[in-house]
């Protein structure tokens, strides 16, 4: 995220939108990038055309300019306010902008970009180690439910704030798990002499270190994955166990699985 300290402006938002929908961009519905939506009502609906449900209707075009100006002023003023919790600020940023729905298309993407900007400003860091947009997309159903409950209420957005903070916590956990996995992989290879191994054994270990076969790999899976005979697959796995790189499960026969060994520091 660039220009953390630059004031947010309508021009900046529209420039982002123009990059999403450059001139000549066409899909099923051509979108003109770099401009606010037209006079048509903006609704979020589901269901069939003749039996649709309106989940939300954005503010009319008549008030959009002033409402968007209020949002931008608040975003800039709240950044310098030490009393304002920065995570709640990010949550309110997301809710406010997506509720305004000021663009013909791409509102979700611009909203997630603004959310990332607010979080980056909170951390004073242009690159966050976690991915809030990924966590939002992974919880899309509950995301829309929390939005709808708060958008149709009486300006009490507690449900939304709780959902946002819980999802942000989930994003933190996912990022920490990835960091732990990367550290484990680095330490694992540091203790392994790859000259003792075949290329197939190295590839399988690398796949397992990347999170594949989290319940362990079987001889049959090794045989199919590496395109070697079953006796060769058995020998390769037995060697990895003998070297201390894999651990063989107690179950016998086809239920036998081989999992990564955890070295003692």
Feature table: binding site for ATP: 105-112, 143-144
- Helices (H), strands (E): how many in the chain? 10, 4
CA distance 258 to 86: 46
The one catalytic residue among 17, 94, 101, 223? 101
Q: How far is CA 126 from CA 111, 119, 120, 207, in A?
A: 17, 9, 6, 31
Q: How far is CA 235 from CA 24, 219, 241, in A?
A: 59, 9, 10
- Residue of 11, 7, 142, 25 whose CA lies nearest to 78: 7
Helix (H) or strand (E) holding 210: none
- Residue of 36, 10, 6 whose CA lies nearest to 21: 36
Measured from the Cβ of residue 45, the count of other Cβ atoms closer than 10 Å reads: 11
**DSSP E strand boundaries for the chain:** 43-48, 51-57, 246-248, 258-260
CA distance 168 to 136: 9
Residue 101 falls in the annotated catalytic set: yes
Catalytic residue ranges: 101
């Amino acid at each position: 995220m660039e220009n953390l300290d630059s004031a947010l402006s309508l021009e900046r938002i529209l420039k982002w939108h123009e990059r999403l929908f450059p001139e000549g961009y066409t899909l099923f519905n051509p979108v003109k990038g770099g401009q606010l939506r037209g006079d048509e009502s903006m609704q979020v609906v589901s269901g069939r055309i003749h039996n649709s449900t309106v989940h939300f209707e954005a503010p009319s075009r008549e008030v959009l300019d002033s409402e968007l100006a209020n949002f931008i002023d608040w975003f800039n003023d709240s950044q310098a306010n030490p009393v304002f919790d920065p995570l709640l600020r990010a949550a309110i940023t997301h809710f406010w902008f997506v509720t305004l729905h000021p663009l013909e298309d791409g509102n979700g993407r611009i909203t997630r970009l603004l959310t990332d900007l607010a979080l980056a400003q909170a951390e004073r860091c242009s690159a966050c180690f976690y991915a809030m947009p990924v966590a939002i997309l992974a919880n899309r159903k509950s995301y829309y439910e929390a939005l709808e409950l708060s958008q149709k209420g009486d300006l009490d957005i507690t449900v939304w704030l709780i959902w946002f903070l819980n999802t942000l916590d989930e994003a933190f956990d996912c990022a920490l798990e990835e960091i732990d996995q990367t550290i484990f992989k680095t330490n694992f290879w540091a203790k392994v002499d790859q000259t003792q191994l075949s290329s197939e054994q190295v590839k399988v270990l690398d796949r397992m270190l990347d999170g594949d076969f989290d319940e362990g790999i079987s001889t049959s899976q090794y045989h199919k994955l590496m395109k070697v005979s079953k006796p060769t697959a058995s020998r390769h796995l037995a060697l990895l166990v003998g070297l201390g790189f894999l651990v063989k499960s107690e179950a016998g026969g086809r239920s036998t699985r081989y999992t990564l060994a955890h070295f003692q520091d």
